[in-house]
Amino acid sequence: MSRVVRAAVVQTAWTGDKASMLDRHEEHARAAAAQGAQVMCFQELFYGPYFCQVQETEYYDYAEAVPDGPTVQRFSALAKELGMVMVLPVYEREQAGFLYNTAAVVDADGTYLGKYRKHHIPQVKGFWEKFYFRPGNLGWPVFDTAVGKVGVYICYDRHFPEGWRALGLAGAEIVFNPSATSRGLSNYLWKLEQPAAAAANMYFVAAINRVGVEPLGDDDFYGTSYFADPRGQLVGDAASGHDEELVVRDLDLGLIEEVRNQWAFYRDRRPDAYGPLVEG
């Protein structure tokens, strides 16, 4: 049975300051709502630069409380005004020294539903994330929203199939993956991994990436945000590889049941045989 949800993602370039980034994202949210979007996700650490290109304690100041900090409060009010579910990837401060790469999920009536904390934290040149973030410790929650069951995975997480599967087992219908990924080796994986995860788990995946080169380093963020359906096929075209862009697509959640009836991957799983996978 057809059940269409209009979803939006936006890829943006760093404007130079937090206040204008917040304003820019509000403008995009209003534009998405004007096109009928019912759910929207921003890019990883959306109101700042990708400061993980350097290791400087001054960037700890970007962290805020979730949900009581100013950014989540502002966009919760906007979600209520627009009647739109919002996924807000922010830098979270739980307490001094307890900082996380987090996404808050807000329902269409402005209600804060909970948060996901990024599990897998890289520490390589240009992506010094262990300097800024503790590993996520809240599992892989799925949020029951006005548009359906929504999950979140964040950037580097996408290289690890376990979380994708955990979200599927928990009932996710749309999984948003906000990212900050730059040109080079990851381009090929960006096109491969998330459609593969959508197909393997038979749900929709929204892949969001920022664009441009920022003053803190030479990472060249290549955009190309997209939606993939439960067969791993793109829903419309991917976004620009260079320019800021709002992407709005209709997702027929009824396709999930159709594909699962055809492939039956969940029926044929063998969890009784998988114990050795987590013994190492």
Provide the annotated active-site residues.
44, 118, 155
Strand partners of residue 104:
88, 115
Q: What CA–CA distance (Å, rounded) separates 45 from 51?
A: 9
User: Considering Cα of 20, then 23, then 29, then 35, what sign does the dihedral take?
Assistant: negative
The tokens describing 248, both together, are: 């709005």
Q: What CA–CA distance (Å, rounded) separates 36 from 159?
A: 32
Question: Is-contact 85 251, C-beta < 8 A?
Answer: no
Determine whether 109 is exposed, middle or buried from the number of CB atoms within 10 Å of its CB (0-12, 13-18, 19+): exposed
Q: What is the dihedral of CA 84, 87, 91, 93, to 10 degrees?
A: 80
